[in-house]
Structure 1
Amino acid sequence: MDAERDDSEQSLQSAASFKALMMTSSTQSNMNLYDHLTQVLMKVMDEHPHNAVDVIEDISHDVKQTFFEEKQSTLRDLPQTTAAELLAEKQRLLFAGPEEDDQEEKPKADVCPVFAVSLIRTTVTCKWLSNHYNMESPLPNVSVIGFYWEQAGVGLGREEMLRVFLALKQLVESQKLLRCRLWGKILGTESSYIVAEAEYGEGEVERSSEESAEEEEREAEIEEDEDPLPRSTYEPLPALPEETLGTGANKCVYYVCKEPGLPWVKLPSVSPAQITVARQIRKFFTGRLDNPVVSYPPFTGNEANYLRAQIARISAGTQVSPEGFYKPAEDKDDEEDEEALNSVEVNPDFEGISVAELAESLSTWVHHVQHILQQGRCTLVDLAKKTGDDSNEEGEAEEKEDDDEPEQVGPPLLTRLSEDAEKFNIPPWTLRVSSTLTFQHALAVIRSNLWPGAYAYSCGKTFENIYVGWGLKYAGEGYSPPVPPPPQNEYPSGPEITEALDPSLEEELALQETLEEERDAEEELEDIDDEDDEEDDD
């Protein structure tokens, strides 16, 4: 009897433990097996399904589904705002401009509606053409320019050109620029850059020079406050000075933005060292201005500086115009001033060149942007003369010798494209006509083969330049980066500084015996000499 009682107690304990296990809640669904089986059995008792053992899995699934449906909500989560929607919201502000002030130009109510629409379109078109051809507006009509680029098969597309026009209009109004135009678009791996070219104003040049002077004063104060550290005696070659704002490679100022409607960012001025290194490297743009440029030779600056250097190189090599549109500046007070010699102005007597002549010969096209020399500047700087002492006679002699040598200068302004040199056995330019079917309304289009993506068109008395590409120069069939120079020797190798092996004991004893023999021989010679001297005295 005691054994049976013990067995019954153990069975009750095991049943209680098993029931506790079945009532343990799941961490995922917060359900337990005991309640689930209870609900499944109640469903079987209520419905009396045929062949219940075969559909027990479906019944279990239905019970679970019913449990979850009770807790589900009919409300849906709001979708996250995409990047395209955020950009569209910012671009919407470009189209929400102020109402037109010229209300008197609108037709009256008693005018025919069809004639009224035609009158409005004609008035707007005349305004666009006057702004584009007469250059009275600080911003040329990008819509008209986009129409011409569309005929030439180049450009950004009609919709994007319209957004770019509104973005440029916003830039001109915010920065109060004197003249602004669409320079082009430089593609990147993550995003692209829309580049706007503007002219420096006199006040802006003065303000920039004052800011640079203030920065130099701040740096000097910081250096004075810091503890003096030991400095190296190495004196590097003097750095080439940057060209002043409004001259040379810094003649224009450039603004970039990733998409129309996003904020414009002003690029910094370019230095000769940055242009020199940019000629030796090839880097794709990422679309992030603060991205560091990792290259060999090392580039001083980030992607904004590299972008500015490439823009200067592209402008100097691909900005062209019909011959006669520009003429050398003559209204300068000082004819010997470099700025007067290296600047051009619009020729009011330009009568235009026919499309047939422009599309036939490169002699009808000229460069109207200064050439960048090997120094990275548009004007040559002689560092030897600049750093030499005027009172030193040797320095004066060297200056005289330098004066005898011909000065290294680049091609002058308004040089014809026919004088450009070929590279990699390909012509530097390609000429064509936009349409051979309607030649009377065609454009003359010229394309640069050295800078793929640079185009120019001309029609009548108008022309325009644009660049749409990756910002890299054609490098032939393949590009191989420059090989680093061989490492410099730390010290000259020679027996004086070369570490020798320690001699053995036998070698040391032999050397000691040799030295003693030599010493004895010298003493004997000295004794013989002394005896000879005594005999001579006697």
Structure 2
Amino acid sequence: MERPERSRAHRDPSVEAASLKAFMMKTSTDSTMNLYDHFTQVLLKVMDERPHNALDVIEDISHDLKQALFGDHKSTLRDTSQVTAAELLAEQHRLLFHRPEEADQEEEVETTFPNVSEIGFYLEQAGVGLGREEMQRIFLSLKQLVESQALQRCRLWGKILGTESSYIVAEADHQEGEEEEEESTDEEEKEIEMSQNDSEADPIPQSTYKPQPMVPKEVKGTGANKFAYYVCREPGLPWVKLPSVTPTQIIVARQICKFFTGRLDAPVVSFPPFPGNEASYLRAQIARISAGTQVSPQGFFLAGEEEGDEEDEAPRDSYEVNLDFEGIPVSEMAQSLSTWVHHVQHILQQGRCTWVNMAVKQGENSNEELEAEEDEEEPDEPQPDIGPPLLTPLSQDAEIFNTPPWSLRMSSNLTSQHAAAVLRSNLWPGAYAYACEKKFENIYIGWGVKYNGGGYSPSVPPLPQNEYPSGPEITEDVDPSPEEEQDLKESLEEQQASQEDMDDTDEHEEEDD
């Protein structure tokens, strides 16, 4: 009969330790060290140096001890260097200064491209800007954007700072033939179908709540979506086109105060909840800043003539350059706000530049819905909200929190004949404009946050709604005690007995009659 082997638990501990030590003391074929001696040296170095994060650097200590064995051989081998983020960015910057040979042979397409170097010079005189080196890289990056997207007009809108990285923003016209992006409603249709199927199988109580109709967004090329905006984190990195802005996004953006992270796909955690990610929030803030700070000298633009009724009260959203503009003296523009005008439409409380009547039902309704609407009382016709007309002087802007909306100055009082008029917005810190002779430009360099006049107080969430209406028909009574139940039972028996006596007496009287 074979003798069964002893299990590992019944082995002699001393024999087991000796076998493990013998295994660890086997000499390596590549070096003269063994695992036992290497662990001993690593532990001795840890106990001598006592690093703060010993667990994180123990691999580096082991690597240094192994590398020290080859010091006597004077090896010329080096570790492979890792490419840093700064080196990758430098490579992207190098591509900005590279001009392919094919571009020399092709004819250059005429585009309305700004002279960023000249703009940087005037901004430097005004005391703002991004520096000559960064402005030159941005200029070359805008050139790449124009060539890749075939844009007819492009300008540097500004730079919005973020906690992790910043956004360089470029403003351009929409391309011809570009289709409007429609939001997918597949999920909504599935939810409606599921609710209809559930109602047919097991009907549930129908809610009488009717959500407010959603305000339609303005089409591309009009209102807040008049221009297209592209952003990139650093010059040389790819440009990303921002989506169109909706009225709901603008309304919620007015109620929250958030810093940007520098990641377009980052969620916007706020109350009220923002409908979209950081890319949509960035687009909403750009629309608000443009509507409040994009200004020009009076007379540089003229209101465009639109086809239609002349008595139309809707504000005009088009303008054209005045070819006969002769310029305004710098000294006058540095003293009077009446010489500056807004050339971007004002955004109404509805989140649009043009008011739309939401009381008018849009679309076709069924006969039952029409009959139900006729039974309801017709609400009063809402008053249209009309903002200030285009090219309104800055002197008509209202103060907020006892703060003047604008500040004026000259870039230099010593050489006033060569100075420029500088305009700064106090409601949107970081928005600047300059004007010199027939030249002017707007730029924004800031955090994308409006001045609140003090500490920001977030909106308070509304009170929770009741689950059901409280009343005697629904509220459950308190269970009676045994004594109360016995008293109630006795009283019911007495009432029943008295009722039977009354019935007997009535029967006897009828028989006597």
- TM bracket (short chain): 0.7 to 0.9
Matches within 5 A, 1:124-523: 137-204=111-178, 207-208=179-180, 211-212=181-182, 216=184, 230=198, 233=207, 234-330=209-305, 332=307, 335=310, 341-387=316-362, 398=378, 401-402=380-381, 406-523=383-500
- List alignment gaps of at least 5 residues for structure 1: 1-16, 36-63, 104-130
Shift in Å at residue 419 of structure 1?
1.2
What CA distance in whole angstroms lies between the structure 2 residues aligned with 1:31 and 1:172? 63
Aligned equivalent of 1:4: none
Residue 66 of structure 1: how far off its partner (Å): 9.2
Change in 2 beyond 3 A, CA 1:490/1:72: farther
Measured against aligned partners, the alpha-carbon deviations of 1:411-432 in whole angstroms (never above 9, x if no partner) come to 1111111111111111111111
- 1:101 positional shift: 5.7
CA distance in 1, matches of 2:459, 2:313: 35
* C-alpha contact (below 8 Å) 1:247/1:339 kept by paired residues: no
Number of matched residues?
451
Structure 1 residues 338 and 251 mapped into 2: Cα distance closer, same or farther (>3 Å)?
farther
Percent pairwise identity: 66
Take 1:527 and 1:67, find their aligned partners in 2: how far apart are those partners?
122
Hey, what's the Cα distance between the residues in 2 that align with 1:147 and 1:91?
22
Q: Distance in 2 between matches of 1:33 and 1:219?
A: 61
Residue 93 (structure 2) pairs with residue 91 (structure 1): yes
Q: Taking structure 1 as reference, are residues 348 and 332 closer, same or farther at Cα in structure 2, changes over 3 Å only?
A: farther
State the SS of the aligned residue for 1:273: helix
Worse overlay, 255-264 or 232-241: 232-241
Give me the whole-angstrom Cα distance separating, in 2, the residues matched to 1:268 and 1:201. Answer: 14
Aligned partner of 1:123 in structure 2 is none
Task: Spell out, residue by residue over 1:268-300, the C-alpha distance to the aligned partner (whole angstroms, 9 max, x if none).
Answer: 001111111111111111111011111111111
Q: How much does 1:175 deviate?
A: 0.6
Counterpart of 1:6 in structure 2 is: none
- Residue in structure 2 matching 1:77, options 76, 79, 82: 79
The amino acid that maps onto 1:80 is Q
CA spacing shift, 1:22–1:169, aligned 2, 3 Å = closer
Amino acid at match of 2:446: G
Kindly tell me: are residues 479 and 219 of structure 1, through their superposed partners in 2, closer, same or farther at Cα, counting changes over 3 Å? closer
- Deviation (angstroms), 1:396: 12
Q: Structure 1 pair 23/503, CA: closer, same or farther in 2 (3 Å)?
A: closer
Contact 2:315 2:354 in 1 (8 A): no
Tell me how far 1:21 sits from its aligned partner: 7.8
CA distance in 1, matches of 2:36, 2:83: 45
CA distance in 1, matches of 2:140, 2:35: 67
Change (3 A) 1:339 1:138: farther
Is this contact kept in 2: 1:310–1:471, CA < 8 A?
A: yes
Secondary structure at the counterpart of residue 360 of structure 2: helix
Query: Partners in 2 of 1:351 and 1:76 — Cα distance?
Result: 68
Over aligned residue pairs, what C-alpha RMSD do you find?
A: 3.7
- Distance in 2 (CA, whole Å) between partners of 1:292 and 1:327 is 41
Q: Is the 8 A contact 2:315 2:389 kept in 1?
A: no
Give the C-alpha shift of residue 334 in structure 1.
Answer: 6.2
Give the greater-gyration-radius structure (CA). 1
Distance 1:193 1:413 in 2: 29
C-alpha deviation, 1:220, in angstroms: 8.5
- Cα distance, 1:322 vs. partner? 1.1
CA distance in 1 between counterparts of 2:171 and 2:375 reads 43
Structure 2 stretches lacking a partner, 5+ long? 1-17, 38-65, 200-205
Q: Compare 266-275 and 514-523 and name the one that shifted more.
A: 514-523
- Please give the per-residue CA displacement for 1:225-277, whole angstroms capped at 9, x wherever unaligned: 98965477453211111110111110100000001100000000011111111
- Tell me how far 1:534 sits from its aligned partner: 7.7
**What is the CA-CA distance between 1:374 and the residue it aligns to?**
1.0
Opposite residue 487 of structure 1, the aligned amino acid is: P
Moved more, 352-361 or 71-80: 71-80
Change (3 A) 1:71 1:488: farther
Partners of 1:516 and 1:396 lie apart in 2 by 53
- After TM superposition, what 4+ stretches of structure 1 lie above 4 angstroms from structure 2? 20-23, 25-30, 32-35, 64-68, 98-103, 215-229, 231-234, 333-340, 387-399, 523-535
> SS of the counterpart of 1:384?
coil
Structure 1 residues 376-385 or 186-195, which shifts more? 376-385
Tell me, yes or no, if the aligned pair for 1:445 and 1:456 is still in contact at 8 Å: yes
| CA 1:383–1:88: 2 relative to 1, 3 Å | same
Q: Give 1:372 deviation, angstroms.
A: 0.8
Q: Distance in 2 between matches of 1:32 and 1:389?
A: 85
Task: Read off the aligned partner of 1:83 and give its amino acid letter.
Answer: A
